[in-house]
Amino acid sequence: MPNGNSGYTTGKYYVMDPLGVSAPLFPGENDVAAPGYGYLTWQPSGNEIAYANSAVDQPAAGQACVNLVHPDGSDARPLWCAPSSYTGPQYISAIRWAGNGKSLVAYVNWSPDPYSPQTDLYEINASTGAGTLVATGIPDLPSYRGIADVSYDGTKVIYQEYGGDQPSEDCLDNNYGGPGATYCLRDMTTGQATLVSVPLAYDSPLMLSPDGSELISTKGTTLNNYATENDLFVSSIATGQVLRQLTYTPKTLPDDSSVGWKPVAWSSDGQRLLVNRVFIPAHSIVPSQTEIYVINVSNGSMQYMGSGNAESWYQPSL
């Protein structure tokens, strides 16, 4: 239930079964009262839901942690907690599973000074709970999903960094990703980070192909009537070359309106992409319109799945 002055103050998470029967995931009457629970995401092919031990943008009561729980609410337990070296208010955000369900990435937002937040990125082994630092001192995430993505097998992580202000980092360049930002791909096996030089819109959502060789990103076009559309592109990680454009801005859009194509998940075979198309009317109280599509990444052909907002792609055959 929203409060106009301070955002969402009450709410419950439910899991609905195929017969339409819902049951609360957590005990208690309010799941978003501080610290609450946040950033829930379902393991792609398994029986775990990962979540943070605080509601969205709320500090944890102590160390920020990633927890696991079964969809029936049983066996809730911590998987990994931020190192004790972190001090001050902290919380976990933008948890994202690898496609094989064996690891996940999560941002740790922390700072002893609430006016100077710090953001670090970790990859966490879902079996052992071991966390590996991917990058430190990176930009705060601009969206609920964050910017980082992890390859299907968890061996590669792509993320955004500040550009040029941390000489100790090995992946810095001001020429890519927009002013003051750059994009890096870290090989979690070797620890080596390399610059990603594909053309990207600033703060573009990033989506790695299952083998980590290709990247889905967005780039915007503005029409003469100030309408905009962020279209989807497939690029080679190795060469930076744009391989294919998947969506195209139509010749006409309503004045001052905007369209955003937002990637959600690859199919495990790397052949298809689940996406949302969000249309936002200009200067209107009419809500935005969201549609779900599956796109063939080899030729851009689309299958319309219906209206709504896709959150993940459950592939039980994995």
Q: For residue range 136-194, what is the model confidence (pLDDT) as tens digits?
A: 888 777 665 667 889 889 999 998 877 644 444 446 543 333 444 577 889 999 988 88
Rg over alpha carbons for the chain, rounded to the nearest Å, is 20
Q: What is the pLDDT of residues 249-287, one digit of tens each?
A: 999 998 999 999 999 888 888 899 999 999 999 876 667
The pLDDT assigned to 44 comes to 82
pLDDT score, position 201? 64
Q: What is the pLDDT of residue 285?
A: 66
Residue 316, domain member (yes or no):
no
For 219-234, what is each residue's pLDDT tens digit?
888 999 999 999 999 9
Its pTM stands at 0.81
DSSP one-letter string for 269-308:
TSSEEEEEEEEE-SS-SSPPEEEEEEEETTT--EEEEEES
pLDDT for the residue numbered 114: 67
**Which residues form the domain of 76?**
2-197
Tell me if 281 is assigned to some domain.
Answer: no
Quick count: other Cβ atoms within 10 Å of Cβ 231? 18
Q: If you average pLDDT over residues 202-214, what whole number do you get?
A: 81
Q: Does residue 296 belong to any structural domain of this protein? A: no
Least confident of 155-159, 199-203, 242-246, 287-291: 199-203
Cα dihedral sign for 260, 313, 195, 107? positive
- 44 located within any domain: yes
User: Is 211 inside any structural domain?
Assistant: no
For residues 287 and 279, is the Cβ–Cβ distance under 8 A?
no
pLDDT digit string (tens) for 118-145? 899 999 999 999 999 999 888 777 665 6
Comparing 11-15, 52-56, 110-114, the range with the smallest average pLDDT is: 110-114
Confidence of residue 22 (pLDDT cuts 50, 70, 90): confident
Residue 109's domain is classified under what CATH number? 2.140.10.30
Residues 259 and 277: beta-carbon distance below 8 Å: yes
* Token digits of residue 172: 């810095």
Number of domains forming the structure of the chain: 1
Decide if 310 is inside a domain.
no
Q: What's the confidence (pLDDT) of residue 178?
A: 41
Q: What does the alpha-carbon distance between residue 181 and residue 174 come to, in Å, rounded to a whole number? A: 6
Residue at 45 is within a domain: yes
Cα angle 128-129-135, degrees, rounded to a multiple of 5:
125
The token pair that represents 44 in the structure block:
């792609």
Q: Which band of pLDDT confidence, cut at 50, 70 and 90, is reported for residue 54?
A: very high
Positive or negative: CA dihedral 19, 24, 30, 35 = negative
Residue 173 lies in a domain: yes
Is the pLDDT confidence value at 17 over 90? no
